[in-house]
Structure 1
Amino acid sequence: MTLLDGITSRTIDTRRLSVGILERAGDDPATPAERTVVLVHGNVSSSLFWQEIMQDLPSDVRVIAVDLRGFGSTENAPIDATRGVRDFSDDLFATLESLGIPAAHLVGWSMGGGVVMQYALDHPVLSLTLQAPVSPYGFGGTRRDGSRLTDDDAGTGGGGANPDFVQRLTDRDTTDEAQTSPRSVFRSGYVSGGYAGENEDLWVESMLTTSTAEGNYPGDGVASDNWPGFAAGTIGVLNTMSPKHFDVSAIVQLSPKPPILWIHGTADAIVSDTSFFDLNYLGQLGVVPGWPGADVAPAQEMVSQTRDVLDAYRAAGGSVTEVELEGVGHAPHLERPAEFRQALLAAIGYLGTPVDPAPPTEAIILRSAD
């Protein structure tokens, strides 16, 4: 692995599997929970993606980035998708248990947002930061209210993965010669067109840690009589987020309710009300032929669903802050690290070295209420 200055890696044995984590040299294991931050990556990535923000956080904050199973340096144990993302969240609990951390501030990106929401349903947390999170109702196949479009969740899960992209992950393709190469997908899907970071090779390296062994990415699919002809399977990464298996909207009923920060960009190509990774939206655009129409297969309103659930969380007594970044893609922590850092430190109630008091002009805090 390529590690940036001050970042260290190790593998720890838990009661479930061996887990890779990144830490910062000099962080104190005795740091209290209220200043401990745990970072959880998303799909087709790893803890390597968090390194820049790890470097930027104050020295008296303990920060740990965890590799989910089948990513980074964690074991590629098979994933039982019928449990939703619980294999991931249970692994995370076992990891923090091994580290002697009973509770912490959890940060989840994309699929990792779903993992930390599931974690909060099962275990105490101090706060949740959701960066471009998967909708609380899963990925694909639902109406605005979260109701499933079909009994078999057609068009969701492992069958929707592009086979050439999967093969290029397996082959560890680092080129940009095809639209389906990991590097091209990073540029078109993970960040907006204005991103010009110096560590793109590292982000591609992180994507290429994805295990494509059976039971990992992408997972299986089954034939369906419903458009587009396949439905969710039972193993692997993409099936964990099928609405057949995944629904964390019950966070509205949590008691006590940890404060939530939701940070996302307006130019996100993956998690959006018009997602280019949603088969129904691609059908609406004519990219996938035979689309049966919006009455049968509407595009999933992912951002609106998240806002609806978090509005309900707030109405039920929870504290929610939404930060929307204009023109930013799926990775605010890469594209706008200063804004992300400021929002995160505010979310965890950091009382150490003051951060810039003036809000950045690019960040729009839409709602902040207790």
Structure 2
Amino acid sequence: MDVALPDSVTAQSVDTGRLETNVLVSGDPNGTPVCLIHGNVSSSRFWAEFMDEIPDTYRVVAPDLRGFGDSETKPVDATRGVRDFTDDLAALFDELGMGTVTLVGWSIGGGVSMQYTIDHPDQVTGLALVSTMSPYGFGGTTRDGTPCQPDYAGTGGGLANDEFVEHLATGDTSAEADASPRTVMHAFYGGPDHEFDPETADAYVEAMCATAVGDDNYPGDAVPSENWPGIGPGERGVLNAVSPKYFDASGLAEIDQKPPVLWVRGDADRIVSDTSFFDAGFLGQAGELPDWPGEEAYPPQPMNAQTRDVLEAYAADGGTYTEEVFTDVGHSPHIERPEQFRSLLLDFLRN
């Protein structure tokens, strides 16, 4: 299929010494730096059309994280949370001479952006979180971040859909199977009524299929557990890196230098929500995972409530944040409502 990039967007490979990183770039090389960070099972290609509409006064970069898109595949050490990714970004920004930057993180990219801001608060001028994962990781926690199981069972690489992983590994771009990347994208990346443009949908599916599959990357390894649902996080790969066993960005509320935060989400998001179709607690409640121990023992993770609580604490300690909810929008506000999202982001960047 090989769908071309928009005219104003180009791809370049940057060797940082840590990673051979593929980066989409647009705008003025001397403009205000903005970095767009993609989500899980995607790549910078999901930002390309949006980048085409950003004024040239900004220097926009969108890297592929390790193991995604056209960047080098290197293992993800999940015991570091997402710091393999954030250290890669720090090296990239140094190599590009970007200095301070506004981060725009989508889904898992939101978690990466939060962690980067915690580790480099003096280098972040703004933080935009788009359909962001919770600061308490993905799955398996109550509202205050307490794990539902002592070994964090029900989170990590073992919760991935095996059929989806198989279709991803073979590069299946068809819509013939319920678990093919194309079918999953149409079912979950947008809202129930969103129809992806056919040409860009082809590009997005190709980007999904460029994800490195295996224990070191997506989804990661897993270990058996005596606790429900019988499987826990391993120490390698992407889904383990965002398990609450290793990832906790609630410390964002406590950093001294607090950049302004914009949080944008869709009210029809089925990936990141208080009733996520990818969360063991919700799947157990819905009868999709057997022997669910009940809401008191293992409730659905209240992902949006957790994000709001941390951002409220952030504001109470001197920061500022704005929450914007798009009606009838799913997991990809920048794709489903690009004009509305662009207007919000540009106002945020100007102010």
Shorter chain as denominator, the TM-score bin is: over 0.9
Name the CA distance, whole Å, in 2 between partners of 1:45 and 1:342: 24
Alignment of 1:159-174 (within 5 A): 159-174=158-173
**Superposition misfits of 4+ residues, deviation over 4 angstroms:** none
Q: Deviations over 1:301-360 (max 9, x none)?
A: 00000011111111111110110001100000000101110111111126xxxxxxxxxx
Name the CA distance, whole Å, in 2 between partners of 1:317 and 1:189: 36
Q: Deviations over 1:81-137 (max 9, x none)?
A: 000000001101111110001211100000000001000011120000000001000
Q: TM-score, normalised by structure 1?
A: 0.92
Corresponding position: 1:344 with 2:345: yes
The one-letter code matched in structure 2 to 1:243 is: P
Alignment of 1:212-223 (within 5 A): 212-223=213-224
2:309 corresponds to:
308
Alignment of 1:227-306 (within 5 A): 227-306=228-307
Where 1:247 maps in the other structure, the secondary structure is coil
2:113 corresponds to:
116
1:193 corresponds to:
192
- Structure 1 residue 285: Cα displacement: 0.5
Corresponding position: 1:317 with 2:318: yes
Name the CA distance, whole Å, in 1 between partners of 2:29 and 2:215: 36
The one-letter code matched in structure 2 to 1:181 is: S
Name the CA distance, whole Å, in 1 between partners of 2:178 and 2:196: 20
Where 1:56 maps in the other structure, the secondary structure is coil
Where 1:117 maps in the other structure, the secondary structure is helix
Alignment of 1:1-370 (within 5 A): 2=3, 3-24=5-26, 27-31=27-31, 35-123=32-120, 124-198=123-197, 199-349=200-350
Where in structure 2 are there 5+ consecutive unaligned residues?
A: none
Name the CA distance, whole Å, in 1 between partners of 2:252 and 2:142: 19
Name the CA distance, whole Å, in 2 between partners of 1:18 and 1:203: 21
Is 2:186–2:195's contact at 8 Å kept on the other side of the alignment? Answer: no
Where 1:204 maps in the other structure, the secondary structure is helix
Name the CA distance, whole Å, in 2 between partners of 1:28 and 1:286: 52
The one-letter code matched in structure 1 to 2:312 is: D
The one-letter code matched in structure 2 to 1:165 is: F
Name the CA distance, whole Å, in 1 between partners of 2:150 and 2:94: 38
Where 2:124 maps in the other structure, the secondary structure is coil
- Structure 1 residue 234: Cα displacement: 0.3
Name the CA distance, whole Å, in 1 between partners of 2:28 and 2:339: 24
The one-letter code matched in structure 2 to 1:292 is: P
Where 2:268 maps in the other structure, the secondary structure is coil
The one-letter code matched in structure 2 to 1:45 is: S
Is 2:35–2:104's contact at 8 Å kept on the other side of the alignment? Answer: yes
Is 2:186–2:196's contact at 8 Å kept on the other side of the alignment? Answer: no
- Structure 1 residue 181: Cα displacement: 0.6
Name the CA distance, whole Å, in 1 between partners of 2:39 and 2:10: 20
Where 2:192 maps in the other structure, the secondary structure is coil
- Structure 1 residue 272: Cα displacement: 0.5
Q: Out of 208-217 and 297-306, give the one that drifted further.
A: 208-217
Name the CA distance, whole Å, in 2 between partners of 1:56 and 1:79: 33
* Percent of pairs with identical residues: 52
Is 1:76–1:213's contact at 8 Å kept on the other side of the alignment? Answer: no
Is 1:156–1:231's contact at 8 Å kept on the other side of the alignment? Answer: yes
The one-letter code matched in structure 1 to 2:65 is: L
Name the CA distance, whole Å, in 1 between partners of 2:296 and 2:253: 28
Name the CA distance, whole Å, in 1 between partners of 2:185 and 2:135: 24
Name the CA distance, whole Å, in 2 between partners of 1:179 and 1:284: 22
Where 2:314 maps in the other structure, the secondary structure is helix
Name the CA distance, whole Å, in 2 between partners of 1:145 and 1:63: 35
Where 1:64 maps in the other structure, the secondary structure is strand
Name the CA distance, whole Å, in 1 between partners of 2:298 and 2:265: 25
For this pair of structures, how many residues does the alignment match? 345
Name the CA distance, whole Å, in 1 between partners of 2:277 and 2:298: 15
- Structure 1 residue 28: Cα displacement: 2.6
The one-letter code matched in structure 1 to 2:48 is: Q
- Structure 1 residue 265: Cα displacement: 0.3
